Chains A and B, each alone.
Chain A
Amino acid sequence: IQCEVCVGEENWVDSRTIYIGHKEPPPGAEAYIPQRYPDNRIVSSKYTFWNFIPKNLFEQFRRIANFYFLVIFLVQLIIDTPTSPVTSGLPLFFVITVTAIKQGYEDWLRHKADCSINECPVDVVQQGKVVRTQSHKLRVGDVVMVREDETFPCDLIFLSSSRHDGTCYVTTASLDGESSHKTYYAVPDTMAFTTEQEVDSLHATIECEQPQPDLYKFVGRINIYKDREEPVARPLGAENLLLRGATLKNTQHIYGTVAIYTGMETKMALNYQSKSQKRSAVEKSMNAFLIVYLCILISKAVINTVLKYAWQWSPDRDEPWYNHRTEIERQRHVVIRAFTDFLAFMVLFNYIIPVSMYVTVEMQKFLGSYFIAWDEEMFDEELGEGAQVNTSDLNEELGQVEYVFTDKTGTLTENNMEFIECCVDGNVYIPHAICNGQILSAASSIDMIDSSPGGYRREHEDLFFRALCLCHTVQVKEEETVDGIKRGIHQGRPTSFYISSSPDEVALVEGMKRLGYTYLRLKDSYMEILNKDDEIERFELLHVLNFDSVRRRMSVIVKSSSGEYLLFCKGADSSIFPRVVSGKVEQVKARVEQNAVEGLRTLCVAYRRLSPSEYEEACHLLTKAKLALQDREQRLAQAYDIIERDFVLLGATAVEDRLQEKAADTIESLHKAGMKVWVLTGDKMETAAATCYASKLFRRSTQILELTKKRTEEQSLHDVLFELSRTVLRQHCFSCSFDCLDFGLIIDGATLSAILKPNQEGSGNYREIFLEICRNCSAVLCCRMAPLQKAQVVKLIKASKEHPITLAIGDGANDVSMILEAHVGIGIMGKEGRQAARNSDYAIPKFKHLKKMLLVHGHYYYIRIAELVQYFFYKVLEEQLVYSTLPLYDTAYLTLYNISFTSLPILLYSLVEQHVTMETLKREPSLYRDIAKNSLLRWPVFLYWTCLGVFDAVVFFFGAYFLFDNTTFTSNGQMFGNWTFGTLVFTVLVFTVTLKLALDTHHWTWINHFVIWGSLLFYVIFSLLWGGIIWPFLNYQRMYYVFMQMLSSGPAWLSIILLITVSLLPDVIKKVLCRAICPTATERAQSNRPCLTVEPSTIFMLSQSSSRMSF
């Protein structure tokens, strides 16, 4: 009994058993253990009506900044503090409310969307009848009917279709963005069902794994019980599983599909999981600055507390007769008093960590990211899409990139394949198309290089073309209205299209067609080929050994009309040649290498004749592996390995993948911008290297260092590494005197894994040497990379001691790991589906858009946010220092200072600033170097701003002190009070801070004018209004008429002007001197601007005359 329980337990964990139509299995099968599954309700909302407030508040206060302000606010509530709780409570309340409203609204939308999804009608087969019900009432085991263009309500096992071949077409556009039609297959035993009664009579159970998020993997087994016989078990794979979210196409209806995963357990729902949050370098330095300020804050509070007690040591100071404490205060213990004083000082100075900065930065990032999406230059007409921003947290990181890791296929190249040639045993065949400028007629298309015995050649030729026509997973679409992206070819008869997930295959099949062999269709597992003599040949398709990136090959087993069993295999040369036993290996190899050097993608084709017994054995192996519930992948791989061997080599194909538009220009710009570009590809070295040359990653002058398996076989890895590092370092010494030639490194996957192997002796050393070599290379090409290795490379660079900022760009599913690993991941909306774009931080239509993305947008965002952060610290520090020495502003001013008087200009500045024009940035990529390594947010810069802030504060304080000291400011002899004094200093502060921003603005659009002058005007109007009336709801009227009184005084005006001038002076001088004495490239570019239109001499004369005129 115990054992049974164990098994039951295990079953529970690993797999689930589903009873189709909720029918119990025939007795004796297995004990019926009812399992509980969730209903089909999709809940994407985070909150319910009841838990919204507590849960949302909890989430918000988990952010350190919010929590800090909450604490400050509570302290203000509890103890008697100089500022009213309103000053910190109001901004916090504002931030929390805005966020809560935003999140609440988003959640409400989600609720609505959930509701409409959960209530959409679904047809369920019950007791032989189709019953309409609501989606959320679906249960696991229900048999569902889906009509054309309907979306699957949950994950379903496909039982039967209205199409007689038991297939259906599905688009998974909403799941992974691939709009191509994918074929799914019904379970063979049930595909004959055509009515609901028949479906209802089915008695079967399905065993499958527990839900897991991988969209492309599914392992299950269906047991069909027929009239007390032994149940028939059939394997179920991903091709039988219809996923929630996908849509049925080109199929009238499908019957009898069984819900197996419902609600939140569907693969779509499991894929909702959000990605890990990436943080930008700017945010990190911002936090570092914040810590500095927090330290300042605490030490300020401590020092002030100590000073306070030192100062009021004598009771006359502490409690002069005119200013007594209350009795309660007096009775308090001195330690408690000191502590509350400390807290009060903390509260008093808490503005040094501005709550509004977080809001402004968030808003800047959120709003700023729209400029990327709005950019028309990054809009691709062909795709009909522009750039897409998935996270706005990393905008400024785009301006910090040091390493660019790019995929080759589909990223650098178009992934728009064109069949160029094929070679059978060394004979080259070129389809009659424009090729090298000359048109070859059909008759002369077969170019004989080698005059080998005709019969043999003939046989191989036939086999080769048939192999290419049969060994693929291409579908034929015989309709005109197929999604516009797919390439259509015009056939003689109905218009038909080849559709495949891999463009190589389409190119090959199309190429074959041009050479006279047309693949017609797959009908009832017979593949039909129209051969050169217009005869239709039929092959029975027995097995498809699918392509995978580890094996890098695929095979089919077919039975020819003559009853022969043939296995055709095509794949990368490295995965075919080791398995070849005969054939003209040398000639083919030579041709493959030659093609690879020209940058063509090559595939080798081989075949193997199977005897019936061999076929039986293979069949057995495959079936066994396919039925396995656990480790199916591994077992399949083993089976494939056994079957795919002893090949006879037929020949090779060459497909051209053209470079993307402006790829070379983009790479050149990135190089000039100081970025190191690495190409990571799964392709073979020669092809990849050719692409690199074509895209100017390697120039003719580049000295190529090879670190490949071939070399490490000759020498030990150790020697090769040391030799290379010597070469590089020697060059390094010379480079001081000579114009150095740059290095390019080529490394392959095998060598890389050898270098990175952790348990090897002295591997850390290898890693260091390797990194050292890489650092000195301008371009690195990594070929033969597995997807995970790509991520490893990125990780290796990320973890190196400079901690450079990395960017990964790719278009395919194999780039996702690298995109997720890099600091910034960019996906290209390519032809290989949308996985990369979905997982990326930014998605762009074409590689060329990367240039604008980095050089223009990245540059701008970085400049903007850097200024934003520094400016915020500056203005807060300034306010703080003045405030802490003279606690003299009105609470309303204090509250509004960060919220409205000074925030809008900097926000708008940080949205529209362009210190250099876009054209200049694009023309001169080297400007990007000016902002590399977070240069605008380093400690010296921070220190400069801090000093500036301190200087200004000192000017305000002493200026006001001496100006105000003991004198009358009005012509009627009346005196000003402390509030006038405070208002004067505050006015100077607001004007200085705003004008400082005006000085930093290089790009004055009407928005800047409006906001900067507008905010000053707003300050004045607010002050007039605030002091203009006796506010009935306030219990103090301290500001009454203060501002007007101040404005009526001449000396006050003069003092304000003087103080503003003095406090702005150092910054102007610093700017001018830096520009004159050691201008940065950016500054040069700025000053060169007028020279483009006017000749330099004229400019000089103009400036001369203007300065003379001003005298």
Chain B
Amino acid sequence: IAAMMASSYNAKEEDGHHSSGSSHGGAGAVKSKKPDNTAFKQQRLPAWQPILTAGTVLPAFFVIGLIFIPIGIGLYVTSNNIKEFEIDYTGAEVSSPCFNCAKNFSWNSTTSCNCSVPFTLEQPFESNVFMYYGLSNFYQNHRRYVKSRDDSQLNGDRSSLKNPSKECEPYRTSDGLPIAPCGAIANSLFNDTLELYYIHSNGSSTAIPLVKKGIAWWTDKHVKFRNPGGSNNNLTAAFQGTTKPVNWRKPVYELDPSDSDNNGFINEDFIVWMRTAALPTFRKLYRIIQKKPNMTPTLPSGKYLLEVTYNYPVHSFDGRKRMILSTISWMGGKNPFLGIAYITVGSVCFFLGVVLLIIHHKYDNRNNSADIPN
């Protein structure tokens, strides 16, 4: 691009050392007061002086256009190849299978409410399939909410465990005992359980294996979040003297009793939840469905059943709950906007390049002809 700009290197450095040298012989006062003849002090540093004219910018516009449009097309095609399926299981409507669960929700109920949502995949999903849960109208970006956590407690700090940060208020203590993990974010942990069944044509169903490893950032799981007491297996003892968050049904050390590497603060579902979303409508990675070694699609087209253990109330704030299945390409999930934006910007640049070309010829000729008489 530098070559395309009308550039001129003005090496203006002038050799003025002779004059300063000659003044050495002069009186001391004169010598000291005489300014140094350096390029910097004389504002004569060699400089590249580009100017943005129609003639110099227009190649840049064409180049941008030529680069952006293919990228955009590529992105758009990639995005279109991604398969995504989304289903709302909030149970806000009467016809919805989870309507009863949603309606009868109570914080105090000990029994969990289950509901099954059937759905059909029209197309098979190849490769790894990622299962997300989505919430809407949930302000995880609320200032009060975002702050309401104690990172050092989550990092396994013992003193913070017993004495959580003030930021956690009003979810700091409960019945005189410190809450672990404290704060509004942890307190509102998403606790629906989602299970997926494939329904064969004969009516029988098989559970689809859902992998819960690798859904959180590696650094979060291994560095940022740590259980108190290090690798000590006895989490119950480590969390002695703390209490569970008020909305939780079980303490933190029982999040995944089957797997000690996924229990306590380093439970991946918990870590994912603790990474607050930017917008009120968001999705979070829930499980991964690994592709099968043979050539069969991961999720063949057909009927499926989503089994929901309905624990999470969203009705009170007009929220929605969704389950999303998506394949992933090198550029992530389905996102047609990026491709469209690239194509648009590229075309605009190309168009502007044409306009500038016309302007350049028209006005440059005029200017040249105007300059000649001078």
> What residues make up the interface of A, taking CB atoms closer than 8 Å to B?
82, 316-317, 320-327, 370-371, 373-377, 379, 381, 384-386, 860, 886-888, 912, 914, 917-918, 959, 961-982, 999, 1002-1008, 1030, 1034-1038, 1040-1041, 1045, 1049-1051, 1054-1055, 1058, 1061-1062, 1065, 1068-1069, 1071-1073, 1075-1077, 1079, 1086-1090, 1093, 1096, 1099-1100, 1103, 1106-1107, 1110-1111
Contacts and interface: CB of A to CB of B under 8 A. Distances in A.
B296 interface: no
A1107 B62 CA distance: 9
B16 A376 contact: yes
A1058 B338 CA distance: 9
Contacts of A374: 35-36, 41-42
Contacts of B134: 966
B182 interface: no
B331 A1036 contact: no
A1034 B52 CA distance: 46
A1107 to B, nearest CB: 5
B48 interface: yes
Nearest to A888: B278
B345 interface: yes
A694 to B, nearest CB: 30
A317 B317 contact: yes
Contacts of A1086: 49, 51
Contacts of B55: 1103, 1107
B364 A1100 contact: yes
Given A384-B30, A972-B328, A1107 B184 contact: no
B4 A1106 contact: yes
A710 B364 CA distance: 57
Interface stretch (B136-144, B235-243, B301-309): B136-144
Given A327-B170, A971-B329, A1003 B49 contact: yes
B35 A964 contact: no
Interface of B: 3-4, 6, 8, 10, 12, 16, 26-27, 29-30, 33-37, 41-59, 62-64, 68, 71, 75, 128, 130, 132, 134, 138-146, 148-152, 155, 165, 167, 169-171, 184, 187-188, 214-217, 219-220, 223-224, 247, 272, 275-279, 281-285, 288, 313, 316-318, 326, 328-335, 337-338, 341-342, 345, 348-349, 352, 356, 359-360, 363-364, 367-368, 371
Q: 3 smallest A-B Cβ distances: which pairs?
A: A322-B188, A968-B333, A981-B278
Contacts of A912: 43, 45
B276 A974 contact: no
Interface SS of chain A: helix
B139 A323 contact: yes
A326 B170 contact: yes
Contact of A1090 (B6, B130, B138, B368): B6
Given A324-B170, A978-B276, A1068-B52, A1030 B184 contact: no
Contacts of B54: 1072-1073, 1075-1076
14 contacts: A320-B138, A325-B144, A327-B170, A374-B36, A888-B278, A912-B45, A973-B285, A975-B277, A977-B276, A978-B146, A981-B279, A1002-B51, A1038-B151, A1106-B59
A687 B41 CA distance: 41
Contacts of A1088: 371
A363 B219 CA distance: 43
A323 B138 CA distance: 10
Given A968-B333, A1005-B47, A978 B277 contact: yes
Contacts of A965: 279, 281, 337
Contacts of B223: 1030, 1040-1041
Nearest to B324: A966
A1075 B149 CA distance: 55
Given A327-B170, A973-B128, A1051 B45 contact: no
Contact of A1003 (B35, B47, B316, B331): B47
Contact of B277 (A977, A1007, A1037): A977
Nearest to A962: B337
Contacts of A1058: 68, 338, 341-342, 345
A1037 B151 contact: yes
B35 A379 contact: yes
A1004 B49 contact: yes
B360 to A, nearest CB: 7
Given A974-B285, A1079-B367, A1090-B6, 7 more contacts: A317-B317, A327-B170, A1004-B49, A1035-B165, A1054-B71, A1076-B356, A1103-B56
B331 A1077 contact: no
Contacts of B141: 886-888, 978
B169 A326 contact: yes
A982 B278 contact: yes
A886 to B, nearest CB: 7
A1035 B338 contact: no
Contacts of B338: 963, 1051, 1054-1055, 1058
Contacts of B150: 1035
Contacts of A320: 138-139, 316-317
Contact of B52 (A324, A377, A981, A1072): A1072
B330 A1076 contact: no
A917 B42 CA distance: 12
A1089 B49 contact: yes
Contacts of A1041: 217, 219-220, 223-224
B188 A323 contact: yes
A917 B10 contact: yes
Given A384-B33, A959-B341, A1030-B224, A1051 B335 contact: yes
A952 to B, nearest CB: 15
B180 to A, nearest CB: 16
Contacts of B184: 322-324
Contacts of A1008: 47
B52 A1071 contact: yes
A1089 B37 CA distance: 25
A1093 B8 contact: yes
Nearest to A982: B278
B328 A322 contact: no
Contacts of B48: 1004
Contacts of B247: 321-322
A384 B27 contact: yes
A981 B216 CA distance: 17
A964 B165 contact: no
B52 A999 contact: yes
A836 to B, nearest CB: 19
B39 to A, nearest CB: 9
Nearest to A322: B188
Contacts of A1037: 151, 155, 224
Contacts of B367: 1079
A455 to B, nearest CB: 55
A1103 B146 CA distance: 55
A1034 B333 CA distance: 34
Contacts of A82: 143
B284 A975 contact: yes
Contact of B46 (A887, A971, A1005, A1072): A1005
Nearest to A856: B43
Most chain A CB neighbours (cut-off 10 Å) among B49, B284, B285:
B49
A1047 to B, nearest CB: 13
Contacts of A982: 278
Contacts of A322: 138, 145, 184, 187-188, 247
A366 to B, nearest CB: 16
A973 B288 contact: yes
B100 to A, nearest CB: 20
Contacts of B64: 1061
A963 B333 CA distance: 11
Contacts of A1004: 47-50
B142 A323 contact: yes
Nearest to B353: A1107
Contacts of B12: 917
A1006 B11 CA distance: 12
A1103 B16 CA distance: 36
